[in-house]
Chains A and B, each alone.
Chain A
Amino acid sequence: MKQIKSNDVMLRTVTRVVTFIILSFSLYLFFAGHNAPGGGFIGGLMTASALLLMYLAFDMKTLRKALPFDFTALISIGLLLAIGTGVTTMLLGYPFLTQFFAYFQLPIIGETELTTALPFDLGIFLVVVGIALTITLTIAEDDK
């Protein structure tokens, strides 16, 4: 029996809109993690699920052309960021992983607290995105 070729135009149109909403929500969760629920882990999982929705709606070949990242390299970049925030404070004469924070006047947002916990959280974010997508794509790529 011949397989009927399906045309999922509704899924692809919805995906184009919903992916932006999920990505902006994940960025909100990532930046809200200091004072509210959220943080690097759940923000990374939401980004991974947005990319996974694009992989569901389109196929693997198109997405490899659209997002030419090596997701295993993201893991090492994230680990380097997380370790680098610790080692930098060590080079300045403080103990490992000492945190600093200061208040700055940014042009649009106004007075903002910038901490060195943000690059550490960014490292966690990149590691979670890399690991989740590496696991999913490795399982999806094998032949049956």
Chain B
Amino acid sequence: MIELMLVTSLVLFGLTIAITLIRIILGPSLADRIFGLDMIGITLISVIAIVSILLNTNVFLDVILIFGILAFISTIAFGKYMERGVIIERKRDS
């Protein structure tokens, strides 16, 4: 019963990723694509959690934290590229 529920949620998460991928491909602006990529990263965290319940192991819990950190840093880097044009500034101008 529990396994059926977990597999169902995996299918629903796959549908979420597919719909987000459509938004990334069709997205009219750069911000839509960045949000789509961030949302795919967050959804993959949930997928990893459910897979680690299904496989009955807890060695994937580090992967969840690493995915969260990497999604955060990459979103900030894309946002700075969108706003300023450079990612790492040479000198603060304020």
Chain A residues in contact with chain B, CB under 8 A? 5-7, 11, 18, 22, 25, 29, 36-38, 42, 46, 49, 52-53, 55-62, 136-137, 140-141
Contact = CB atoms under 8 A, between A and B. Distances in A.
Given A37-B62, A42-B66, A140-B87, A62 B92 contact: yes
Interface of B: 59, 62, 65-66, 69-70, 72-73, 76-77, 80, 83-84, 86-94
A29 B91 CA distance: 33
A29 B62 contact: yes
A37 B59 contact: yes
Contacts of A59: 88-92
Chain B interface main SS type: helix
Interface SS of chain A: helix, strand, loop or mixed? Answer: helix
A114 B94 CA distance: 49
B29 to A, nearest CB: 19
Contact of A5 (B62, B86, B94): B94
B66 A46 contact: yes
Given A6-B83, A46-B69, A49-B73, A56 B92 contact: no
